[in-house]
Amino acid sequence: METPLTRLVGVRRPIVQTGMGWAAGPRLVSATANAGALGILASATMTVDGLRAAVREVKSRTDAPFGVNLRADASDAGDRVRVMIDEGVRVASFALAPSRELMAELKDAGVIVIPSIGARRHAEKVAAWGADAVIVQGGEGGGHTGEVATTVLLPQVVDAVEIPVVAAGGFFDGRGLVAALSYGAAGIAMGTRFLLTSDSTVPDAVKERYLAATVRDVTVTTAVDGLPHRMLRTDLVDALERSGRALAFLQAVRRAAGYRKLSGTTWRRMLLDGRALRHGRDLTWSQVLLAANTPMLLKASMVDGRTDLGVMASGQVAGLIDDLPSCAELVDRIMKEAEETRERLAVL
């Protein structure tokens, strides 16, 4: 199937695997790329040297295009951009707000820039800055998310910009792909569905927790970092929501210390990143610290398998997923379902 997305980035299938922290590593990204879709490597949980090593590992596993996801508010974002340029990464995506300057640097080097956005005005802004495409995530999507459903947000953005639009939030099968295309999207992006594959390195115990979830087990909370965050409801999430400010601050400091040790960053850099995050937002300092070390909360579950100590970002579709196919099996199945759906609609 050829769409503006496949033509833009050079993949065979109009499907994107999103850059999920701790989950979207070289194995998952290369498996996605080899299946004909666009895999996105998550860089926020890596050091700069770790990112370079991960990019090279993906390149050793596949000749297909892939991308890297960035946080523009990270103090070393410029270093990460230079790694991507040096290593010939095909696509750059941005979590949260992108940076006009970093976008320009990437585009000048020939990198395709595809920011993720959650509102029409944001799509219009990045399109004016020269974005090559946008990923539009509706409120059903996992991780940081908005309030507007994909079925409302997607047509708004498609009508507002002239660049390819990729739909995210609530997609897991071929019917969803056809629905997105009918709205005018150029493809779909999925996180939770790719997380729940046999190629994902997430521990089995964590995958089982996702597979056991119902739609009602997926919630949105601001208790983790002050921003709306869709995830599985766990005892930890409940505890964070009940915590008073003093206890929340102590928990944040303890987890921040763990993240500092893991990432090799300094307290000064963490505070600078936190101050940048706090700017323009009504966040307490405990929320700022939690935001700065949210990777530790994700690592506890996504790497260590500690569902009792970590958070598990999740789209609402977790309640509809009950298997663990390989990326190749998943992508092939979605394309087969999409073709069957189109044939069924053609005779109505």
Bridge partners for 188 per DSSP: 15, 167
Q: Which residue's entry shows tokens 């850059």? A: 19
User: Which pLDDT score, from 0 to 100, does residue 42 have?
Assistant: 96
Helices (H), the chain: 4-9, 26-34, 48-61, 77-87, 100-108, 120-128, 150-160, 174-183, 192-195, 204-212, 235-242, 245-263, 267-278, 285-292, 294-302, 327-346
Q: What are the extents of the domains in the chain?
A: 4-203+321-346, 214-313
- The fold of 4-203+321-346 is TIM Barrel (3.20.20)
User: Which pLDDT score, from 0 to 100, does residue 270 have?
Assistant: 63
What φ, ψ does residue 136 adopt, rounded to 5°? -105, 110
User: Which pLDDT score, from 0 to 100, does residue 7 have?
Assistant: 98
- As a whole number of angstroms, the distance between CA 44 and CA 38 comes to 18
Q: For every one of its 348 residues, what pLDDT tens digit does the chain have, with 9 covering 90 and above? A: 999 999 999 999 999 999 999 999 999 999 999 999 999 999 988 999 999 999 999 999 999 999 999 999 888 999 999 999 999 999 999 987 899 999 999 999 999 999 999 999 999 999 999 999 999 999 999 998 999 999 999 999 999 999 999 999 999 999 999 999 999 999 999 999 999 999 999 999 999 999 999 999 999 998 877 788 999 998 888 877 876 555 556 666 666 665 555 555 666 766 666 666 555 455 566 556 666 667 777 777 898 898 887 789 999 999 999 999 999 999 999 999 999 999 999 999
HSE-up (13 A, CA, CB side) for residue 123: 25
For residue 170, which of 134, 212, 141, 146 has the smallest C-alpha distance?
A: 141
User: Which pLDDT score, from 0 to 100, does residue 314 have?
Assistant: 97
Q: Would the pTM count as exceeding 0.85?
A: yes
Query: Is-contact 305 205, C-beta < 8 A?
Result: yes
User: Which pLDDT score, from 0 to 100, does residue 241 have?
Assistant: 80
- 203-233 b/e with 16+ CB inside 10 Å = b? beebbebbeebeeebbbebebbbbbbbbbbb
For residue 161, which of 136, 182, 138 has the smallest C-alpha distance?
A: 136
